[in-house]
Structure 1
């Protein structure tokens, strides 16, 4: 009986270690551009027999305004940090300690880690897990590849539309290769809440955000050097 319990404990520990190490191993595999990663949300929809519309498009085939708009909207320091924007994260921690409402501090790399390997919703545990995964992703993958994966797994509609190509086709009837700067801005400012925001039917608030995004993207300059 004791041997059986010891054996069960051993295999349980090995299984937990395998689950922990799997994302780190998969990240290495994702360096290969022929691999088109899927997100945990996409996988869960497949398992639930729900529709998933994702059409992979290489970063080099996208209109540059597409990733410019997303970068300035989601993570202006993307090219400069190592996967974590430590200044923004420190401000969030300080706000939490002071009991103030926290702001977002997720980088594109952290969001990629979440979409690839973790779960949605607000959770301190998930945030803690995101940090080592984001650092590893930034260490292993080139910036262009991180952006490419992110733009191909981000959710753009509550009805199972994932990735900027499927999102562009669904909302504007054009490929991500042919997005205008205004369309790209609407796509970008939708990302924080794709369930409530609709790029092709923007509210006044969304139009205001898109206008700011356009101005920032036009002056992004050195901020997007790592994607050129």
Structure 2
């Protein structure tokens, strides 16, 4: 076999091996973060790059990890009520919610998303912001890994710690201190619902100065928190019992 042909075959083998190596690397990432609390997310890093490009050299993000036991249970409950009421029963993708969102968006009006909490964890922790098909494919892959390797409680714990609740304000503890002057374990039901209310667009809406939309959404989330079972929902989640299927979002 000639030298050029051998070189081509070598390069072909390397190209075929690359997806396997990337899949292995991503699996190791997800496996490690089941036990290690992320010191930073790619979304936080991307926000710093965005600020640097805008000439805002003084930008600083607020982020401090807190274990779920040190966060008021009303906040993860509010996040589930607002973002993913089938969290306890789906395996990463809520096909029913996706179809409802597609039908709603086809009718026009305010766009509705259907990302689950698992998908948002995959996106916020491991990926960058964007709408390309490559990024969406990677989001789906990481979502599968997260659901396969992490218990639901860990997914929820990471989500409430890395979610953006305001411009540069990430996680329950930073949000509680920034907007309410208290620690995350002291959040009330209304405060938790208000934080969850800004999740769709935390740089547009304010938990500190809620406008009419945030106020209406906060009330709706509080109703949904009661509807899905209140604190008993999280207790069933810890025991691995099925949650209440609702499929509706405030």
TM-score (norm 2): 0.78
- Mapped to 1, the partners of 2:203 and 2:158 lie a distance apart of 21
Q: Does 1:31 align with 2:31?
A: no
Worse-matched range after superposition: 117-126 or 205-214: 117-126
Q: Does 1:40 align with 2:42?
A: yes
- Mapped to 2, the partners of 1:45 and 1:22 lie a distance apart of 24
Match in the other structure for 2:205: 197
CA separation of 1:208/1:103 partners in 2, compared to 1, >3 Å: closer, same or farther?
A: closer
Worse-matched range after superposition: 52-61 or 17-26: 17-26
Counterpart pick for 1:161 among 147, 161, 169: 169
CA contact (8 A) 1:76 1:223 kept: no
Report 1:62-81 matches (<5 A).
62-81=71-90
How far the C-alpha of 1:9 sits from its partner, in A, is 6.0
Counterpart pick for 2:65 among 38, 52, 56: 56
Match in the other structure for 1:226: 237
CA separation of 1:16/1:100 partners in 2, compared to 1, >3 Å: closer, same or farther?
A: farther
TM-score (norm 1): 0.85
Structure 1 regions of 5+ residues with no counterpart?
none
Higher Rg of the two aligned structures: 2
CA contact (8 A) 1:37 1:149 kept: no
How far the C-alpha of 1:120 sits from its partner, in A, is 1.7
Counterpart pick for 1:141 among 126, 138, 150: 150
CA separation of 1:162/1:9 partners in 2, compared to 1, >3 Å: closer, same or farther?
A: farther
Match in the other structure for 2:242: none
CA displacement 1:67-116 (0-9 Å, x = unmatched): 111110010111111111121224456678xx655631100000001111
Structure 2 regions of 5+ residues with no counterpart?
240-250
How far the C-alpha of 1:19 sits from its partner, in A, is 3.9
Q: Does 1:110 align with 2:110?
A: no
How far the C-alpha of 1:227 sits from its partner, in A, is 4.5
Match in the other structure for 1:171: 179
